[in-house]
Chain A
Amino acid sequence: MSIIEEYAPIVGEDMIEHLRELAGHLDGMKVVHVNSTKVGGGVAEILVKLVPLMRDLGLDAQWEVIRGEEKFYECTKNFHNGSQGRPVPMSESLLKVYEETNAENAEELRAMLEEADLVFIHDPQPLPLLRFCPNRKGKWVWRCHIDLSHPYRPVWRYLRKFVEDYDASIFSLADFAQQLPHNLYLIPPSIDPLSEKNMELDETEVDAVKEKFNLDPERPLMLQISRFDRFKDPVGVIRAYRLAKTFAPALQLVLAGGGATDDPEGDAVLTEVRAEANNDKDIHILLLPSDAHRIVNALQRAADITVQKSIKEGFGLTVTEAMWKGKAVIGGNTGGIRLQVVNHHTGFLVSTPEGAAMRIRHLLQRPEKAREMGRKAKEFVRDNFLITRHLKEYLSLMVALFHGDEERIEFEMKPDR
């Protein structure tokens, strides 16, 4: 069975047929995706499946990862934080490392990138590559996965000069975009329902994970899965837990975070979180390896209350993952969480630890309502946030890119197969 066929029981044969028809118009096209990490973080998780699916549909798709030293990641972490509005240092020496690292990577990748029909550059890390490929023949698209609505201006001013040379950009939401001199396409990201992180699990495996981390199966469990990053507000989650625990003394909290190779700031945040937890035996802080997908899956299935109390969020794929497991989500009223958590339908949007605590108590008191919201959440994800929809939008965009800016692009002929 081909990879794409494996999705038919989940999204329907009609969707698979739709993808095949669309991809027929892109048969053999050379497509290269470039990012800066093979493991950890939402971008890598999407590419690990999106690229094989594109290949399965007849495209000549590749995924390349640029490499750099510690100073490079320090610089790009500053870009990441600065893009989302935090004032960050912009030292000349770090910027020099950033550009030189891209120049070195371009030496290795140039032949492939210049030959490609389409190059997707993910996030700011590999952004300058375009400048080092002067003989490029295809279209270059910058895929921005982060919320760029209120950037720290010096960071955006610096990055913008690289972005302007691209043929198009893709943002997850219109709210995240900055004005640019080319088309700004909108494509929300997705999850893979067949990945280890989202596949169905036996109850015994879920129980084993609870036991492994000393979680009492008889008591309610509250969970936030996220990197240890200030924008995810793990300290705010602990405060919400404490407020709710006054009314639900049996409540347990798990804060579980993976690491990404391009995030040097995680350790500092983890220290702050441990200080806030103050040795509370019902707060379980789990630092998981980046490949602990089945453990994350089991924890999400085990949770009675799922929280993603971010104060800034790109899209919030952990929200999508929890919803796919039939969980109502209490999410921060920000970014892509708003697109997924439809207040009172698939979960609750909150702005403070107090608001989160109130909704935690609400859902603990009304388990049937939580289940009903969870059912809606799962169907909402099935229709909108699975990788097949994401793939469809990439394919549509690729067709559109090669047919100008017309409002209607109509193929009169069937593709040659």
Chain B
Amino acid sequence: MLLKNNAREPFTVKDCSLVAIATGRKAQNLRELVEGVRQIHRGSIYYHFWGGLLRPNFDDPQFHNDFAVWSHYALHDDILAERLAVIDPTDFYTLELLRQELIEIIEQRLEEVIRPLWVPEDTQFHFIRSQIVVFHANKNIEHPKDLAEAVPQLPVGCIFYHFIDARRRQPKALDDFRAWLAGFGDTYEELSFLLASVDPYFVTLRELRQQLADVFRHYFRQVAR
């Protein structure tokens, strides 16, 4: 689904919220985990990589997806946890590619371990999927230079929608800001390059909002000189 923010048209700000739904599918060992990953709806893969940003979740400095967290805290398999933690979902254009990467890493680990570990029943992995509710934020941004002032005021749901969720909607997995700026020809090529350097995966949404605000502010301050 493409965002209807075309060149020279105002940037329509949208907000979003995730609704979490238990799928009922659980895993108590690695084999069950890989089977779950293979068969679960792709929305569940999305949720376990990105959902942590929009739901109650402690910002673990070591592990940034639910599969790695579970491998460390429940399975106590740090080799697997580290391999899973290093997966950056922004490297994968589609969730199917991301799913394949997960399967390969878990299968490789299954070949290495003599006997797959089991976790107690009360620490099993629960596959959760989500519905995303997207709505208008009652705000338009008329010109790119207005981004510097607007972005720090946006609810974090807007940041998630335009900078993270956008990668599922836009061609070449662009965020919505870069997609909009591309409509101005090469005028904002440098700004787009700076935005491409913002890694959304290792920060909270508040931190991400601050990073984006800094990029816009510094860029337009430089341009004004």
- Footprint of B on A, CB under 8 Å? 13-15, 17-18, 21-22, 24-25, 149, 171, 174-175, 177, 179, 183-188, 334, 339, 342, 345-346, 380, 383-385, 389, 392-393, 395-397, 399-400, 405-411, 413-415
Contact = CB atoms under 8 A, between A and B. Distances in A.
B128 A174 contact: yes
B100 interface: no
Given A18-B157, A177-B24, A183-B21, A409 B128 contact: no
Contacts of A15: 155
B147 interface: no
A408 B126 contact: no
**DSSP class of B's interface residues: helix, strand, loop or mixed?**
strand
B57 A384 contact: yes
A385 B134 CA distance: 22
A393 B19 contact: yes
Contacts, number: 102
A21 B21 contact: no
B133 A400 contact: yes
A399 B157 CA distance: 16
Interface of B: 1, 15, 17-22, 24, 41, 43, 55-58, 60, 122, 126, 128-138, 153-157, 204
Contacts of A175: 122, 126
A75 to B, nearest CB: 28
Contact of B138 (A149, A393, A396, A414): A414
Contacts of A406: 131
A151 to B, nearest CB: 14
Given A149-B122, A345-B58, A397-B19, A17 B133 contact: no
Most buried by B among A345, A384, A409: A409
Contacts of A171: 22
Contact of B21 (A149, A186, A334, A389): A186
Contact of B131 (A17, A409, A414): A409
9 tightest CB-CB pairs across the interface, nearest first?
A: A174-B126, A384-B56, A18-B155, A396-B17, A186-B20, A184-B22, A14-B155, A410-B134, A342-B58
Contacts of B138: 17, 21, 414
A368 B136 CA distance: 45
6 contacts: A21-B137, A174-B128, A346-B58, A384-B56, A407-B43, A407-B131
Contacts of B130: 407
Give the residue among A14, A177, A179, A397 with the most B Cβ atoms within 10 A. Answer: A14
Nearest to A346: B58
A176 B201 CA distance: 29
Given A18-B155, A346-B58, A409 B22 contact: no
A334 to B, nearest CB: 8
A185 B20 contact: yes
B21 A184 contact: yes
A345 B42 CA distance: 32
B112 to A, nearest CB: 28
Contacts of B129: 407
Contact of B135 (A21, A179, A346, A397): A21
Contacts of B156: 14
Given A21-B15, A414-B136, 18 more contacts: A14-B154, A21-B136, A21-B137, A25-B135, A175-B126, A188-B56, A334-B122, A339-B56, A346-B58, A383-B56, A389-B56, A396-B19, A405-B131, A407-B129, A408-B131, A408-B134, A409-B134, A410-B135
